Amino acid sequence: MDLKEQIKEYVLSTIGVLLTALGLVIFFIPNNIAAGGASGMAMILHRLLSAIPIGVWMYIINIVLFILGFTLVGKDFSFKTIYSTFALNFFIDLFDRILKIPRYTGDDLMLAVFFGNVLASVGMAIAFANNSSTGGTDIVAKILSKYFHTPIGTTLLMIDFSIGILAGFAFNPRIAMYALLAIIINGITIDFILKGLELAVTMTIISGKVDSIKDYILNKMERGATILKARGAYSGRDLDVLYVALRRRELGEVLHAIKQIDPDAFVIVNEARYVLGEGFRSIDKIV
């Protein structure tokens, strides 16, 4: 990955964790909605030991978890994950203790759950889409998955649910139910947003001017392509078929180029849930 792409990912990841921090500080923290993660654990610990601010508790929790992760799992954490984790800690501590931004403290907790999830979920989805993670309970899930062979996704959900239930003991059962609701909505919303952000398409292009179309994709769009050898069922002639993966937003440009190069081209477009590898998301961030 070139320097420009790396800088872009760090900038977008920072924006993502900033939005997440705003969602937590404005809506979740003032209403004690411990919706999983290190932030939820910190809110519960802050309830027990209020002398230590939530942001500081998050620093403590994540440092301990990273030490455990490096010890028990190995160096399976990218620098971007470490950066995003502590950037989220920094923004939460900044907005919670130093800047003292406005907070929602109304009686309707459903509004807090809804709008808190909107900000937090959008922020986390942006971070995830740029190969970042906010650490926290992800690390616990990796440790348990390694030693008990449990699916990471299921394990993470169970951990977050446990934090939501503990909120019932730390605060009250009503808060716990809202925390569990927030966890469920958060997971669904992140998945929905990621599908939109990551949606890609594959194109199968059959044309007598494959070389010209290939040159446009390689040189103008800086995308890769594969030439498949095929034979026409009706004509019996050998022909080259171009196969290419693109981001959804690039489709219009390619179709316009094909129209200019060969209006008679035969094109098949399919949506792809994931396209992994160079130019797209790294496979090690998915599995």
Query: Chain-centre distance of CA 124, in angstroms?
Result: 5
- Domain layout of the chain by residue ranges: 3-197, 199-285
Angle at 209 between CA 206 and CA 215, to 5 degrees: 105
> Is the pTM here over 0.85, yes or no?
no
> Could you give the strand order of the β-sheet that contains 200-206, starting from the edge strand earlier in sequence?
226-231, 238-247, 200-206, 266-272
Tell me whether residue 186 is exposed, middle or buried, using C-beta atoms within 10 angstroms of its C-beta: 0 to 12, 13 to 18, 19 or more. buried
Cα 240 to Cα 256: distance, rounded to the nearest angstrom = 20
| Domain 199-285 belongs in CATH node 3.30.70.120 | yes
Cα 24 to Cα 256: distance, rounded to the nearest angstrom = 44
Angle at 285 between CA 284 and CA 287, to 5 degrees: 65
Per-residue pLDDT of the chain (287 residues; tens, 9 = 90+): 567 878 888 999 999 999 999 999 999 999 999 999 999 999 999 999 999 999 999 999 999 988 888 888 776 666 888 899 999 999 999 999 888 899 999 889 999 999 999 999 999 888 887 777 787 888 888 788 778 887 777 888 899 999 999 999 999 999 999 999 999 998 888 877 877 666 788 999 999 899 999 999 998 888 889 999 999 888 888 888 999 998 877 888 899 889 999 999 999 999 887 777 777 766 665 54
223 near 215, Cβ under 8 Å?
no
